[in-house]
Structure 1
Amino acid sequence: MFPQLVQEIMALGRLDWVVTLTALVYVVLSARNNAWCWPFGIVSCALWAYVSYGYGLYSDVLLQVFYVAMGFWGLYNWQRGSEEGGVMRISRMKKEDHLLYLVVGIAGGLLLGYLFSYTNAEATYWDAFTTSFSVLATIMLVRRQLENWYYWFVVDLAYAGLYYSRGAVLFALLMVIYTVIVVYAYYTWRKQVKE
């Protein structure tokens, strides 16, 4: 199993590697609460949209386009978006917000899955639910809400399985790495909330 996985990873094209490396830089910088994460995220997601189309993951294509737009908002918001005119600080969410996000995430996943079930998309509902909750987690990340990392942990694990099932081995491995970085990110951000 492991030698085959290594062979599959080594056989991937340059574009897969560029997407993977820029995505890793994005996640590491966002975990460190560094606004430079956003330009790397924009580049990575624009290329990722193209690659996801090739894997037949249409909800993921839409998600990557959304990420590109959110990258510009995130960059602005993290640098100049606070009400006081300074850099936005990390905040905590209310319990009611979590309930709202769960309801919206489930409804969004069902709707997206239903819409794409009439196309030749692959893993329709799996792709739709990961997309729906990724949108919500991204909104939380842009708002610098600490709890975004809870959502990313679950979403990244789900994506690891989704990408692996589609033969996107490098992206599946990237999602596993993301899951580890998410744990680091949560503890890094949590320390900054207490300061």
Structure 2
Amino acid sequence: MVILRFFLSNTLNKKNMLETTWHTLLEQAQSLHVSEIWAVILTSVYVWLAARGQAWCWVFGNIGCAFWAYASFNLYDLWVDALLQVFYIVMGFWGLYRWLYGGQQADELPVTTLPFGQHLRLGLAGLVLTLLFGYFFDEYTPAAATYLDSFTTVFAVIATWLVVQKKLESWLYWIVVDALYVFIYARQGALLFALLLFVWTVFAVFGYFRWREAWKQRKPV
């Protein structure tokens, strides 16, 4: 009898938790501004097409980042995030050009790898910047998860640069960054964005294996 009560209680608790999570997701989805909806859709298309190695992913990414910059600046006064989106747009134009004409014969850029030493230098530089930004935001702003947020931002920039260069390991960076973003958003109660970043993590895993196969065969994705 005790075991049965425990089982029923545990089942009800799980059901209530699922219902609460579902209602929270619906409320957050309904509260999105139209610019945020388009930002989510277009950037998700970008990630999926990038994972498949389609050069025109950058067009969707740029438009999505423009919507995201608008929302960050006009809806939330997040100037730094808006500037970050502008940076991504610049990288998007560069990425489109590199992917289309970055090959040895000014043709499509192939997937390549980065030597371990360069990864080590990128990692050390990223950690130093993480500590600097984390300290600044921890001391002078009311921001939450300052060091973790700084880490994900810095390494997201590094990962984007690696994607522009069509480096296979870029997806490993994104897997780590997106997984950490899932944790950050979930802890802050932003379940909708946590779900979105979980989907992007899955896309990143797919992208890694898709690009690895292309790298092994030494042909465009």
TM-score (norm 1): 0.89
With over 3 angstroms needed to count, the CA separation of the structure-2 counterparts of 1:2 and 1:27, relative to structure 1, is same
Alignment of 1:39-58 (within 5 A): 39-52=59-72, 54=75
Separation in 2, partners of 1:186, 1:103: 23
Distance of 2:36 and 2:189 partners within structure 1:
12
Instruction: Determine if the alignment matches structure 1 residue 33 to structure 2 residue 53.
Output: yes
- Which residue, out of 22, 27, 44, partners 1:8? 27
* 1:133 and 1:155 in contact (8 A); partners too: yes
- Cα distance, 1:106–1:121 mapped onto 2, change above 3 Å: same
Check conservation: 2:72, 2:81, Cα contact below 8 A. yes
**In structure 2, what is the Cα distance between the partners aligned to 1:40 and 1:141?**
15
Contact 2:70 2:82 in 1 (8 A): yes
Distance 1:59 1:113 in 2: 14
Q: Distance in 2 between matches of 1:154 and 1:182?
A: 9
For structure 2, the 5+ residue unaligned runs are: 1-19
The residue that corresponds to 1:158 in the other structure is: 180
- % of aligned pairs identical? 43
Contact 2:25–2:192 (8 Å) recurs in 1? no
Equivalent of 1:138 in 141, 152, 160: 160
Structure 1 unaligned regions, length at least 5:
none
What SS is found at the alignment partner of 1:34? coil
- Deviation by residue 1:50-106 (Cα, 9 ceiling, x = unmatched): 434555766544432221110011011111123431111100111112111110111
Displacement of 1:159 after TM fit?
1.2
Partner residue in 1 for 2:210: 188
Match of 2:200 in 1: 178
SS class of match (2:31): coil
Which deviations, in whole Å up to 9, do the C-alpha atoms of 1:157-192 show, x marking residues without a partner? 111222334444332211100001111111111111
Shift of 1:113: 2.0
Paired residue for 2:9? Answer: none
CA distance in 2, matches of 1:8, 1:157: 23
AA aligned to 1:47 is F
Report the structure number with the largest CA radius of gyration: 2
**CA–CA distance in 2 between the matches of 1:51 and 1:129?**
23
How far did residue 8 of structure 1 move?
Answer: 2.5
TM-score (norm 2): 0.80
Moved beyond 6 Å, runs of 4+ = none
Structure 1 residues 156, 56: CA separation in 2 closer, same or farther (over 3 Å shift)? farther
Paired residue type of 1:45: C
Amino acid across the alignment from 1:22: L
The answer as to whether partners of 1:59 and 1:127 remain within 8 angstroms in 2 is no
2:6 counterpart residue number = none
- Distance, in Å, in 2 between the alignment partners of 1:33 and 1:165 is 33
